[in-house]
Amino acid sequence: MHPHANAPRASLKRRLATLLYDSLLGLAVYMAFGAVFFMVFGALVSQGIISNPEQQHAIDILQSSTGWTLANEGFKWAGVMLFFSYFWQKSGQTIGMRAWRLKLQNIDGSLISWHQALIRIITSGCGLMALTMVFSDDKRSLHDKWSHTELVELSIEQNRARLGQ
C-alpha cells in the first residue's frame, strides 16, 4: 500500500488556493511557449520558408492568418497541458500543490498515468470543475471521477518527506 493511500481528500478551499497559484504558473508557461513559437515562426518568415510576398512583419502574418493563429494557440495550450501532466505523473504535485500540501494520485495512492492526466486536463474546465466537489459525498469533483483520481491533503510531515526536507 502506498503511504498516501488513506490521506484525507482535499477541501475546496485548498483546491481553489492551489488553482490560483498554478494559474499564475500556467500563464508563465503559456507565455514561454508563445515566445518559442514566435521565435521559430519569425525565423521561418525571415528565411523565406513561410511565404511573405508583401514583406510584412512576422506578427502581421501571424495575426492575419487563422491557420497560424490556431497553430500558435494550440502550441501554447499543448505546452501548458504537457507541463501540468508531466508534474502530475512524475510526482503527483505541481508547485502550487506543494505549497498547499496537495497530491494528485490514484485511489490506491500510486501516481497517475499520462492518459489519466490528459483526461483530467481536458475535463477540468480550466479548474472550474473543482466546484463540483461540493455536490459529492466523497469530496471528489467530476474530473477526479472521470480520470479515476483523487486530490488528497498531505500532513506537514508527509509533505516534508516528499520534498526531502
How far out from the chain centre does Cα 133 lie?
A: 19
* CB-based contact 144:132 (threshold 8 Å): no
How far out from the chain centre does Cα 147 lie?
A: 14
pLDDT digits (tens, 9 = 90+) for 75-124: 999 999 999 999 999 999 999 999 999 999 999 999 999 999 999 999 98
List, in order, residues 6 or more apart from 113 with CB less than 8 Å away: 89
Q: Domain ranges in the chain?
A: 12-163
Report the C-alpha gap between 159 and 153 in whole angstroms.
9
* Dihedral (CA of 121, 125, 126, 131) sign: negative
Helices (H) and strands (E) counted in the chain, each on its own, are 7, 2
For residue 128, the one-letter residue type is L
pTM of the model: 0.86
Q: Which of 137, 31, 149, 130 is nearest to 79 (CA)?
A: 31
pLDDT digits (tens, 9 = 90+) for 9-67: 999 999 999 999 999 999 999 999 999 999 999 899 888 888 877 777 888 888 888 99
Per-residue pLDDT band at 165 (split at 50, 70, 90): low
* CB-based contact 142:124 (threshold 8 Å): no
- In the numeric block, the cell 491533503 is attached to 153
Q: What are phi and psi for residue 51, nearest 5 degrees?
A: -60, 135
* CB-based contact 155:141 (threshold 8 Å): no
Q: Which helix (H) or strand (E) holds 152?
A: strand 149-153
pLDDT digits (tens, 9 = 90+) for 120-163: 999 988 777 888 888 888 889 999 999 999 999 998 888 788 77
What distance separates the 2 farthest-apart alpha carbons in the chain? 65
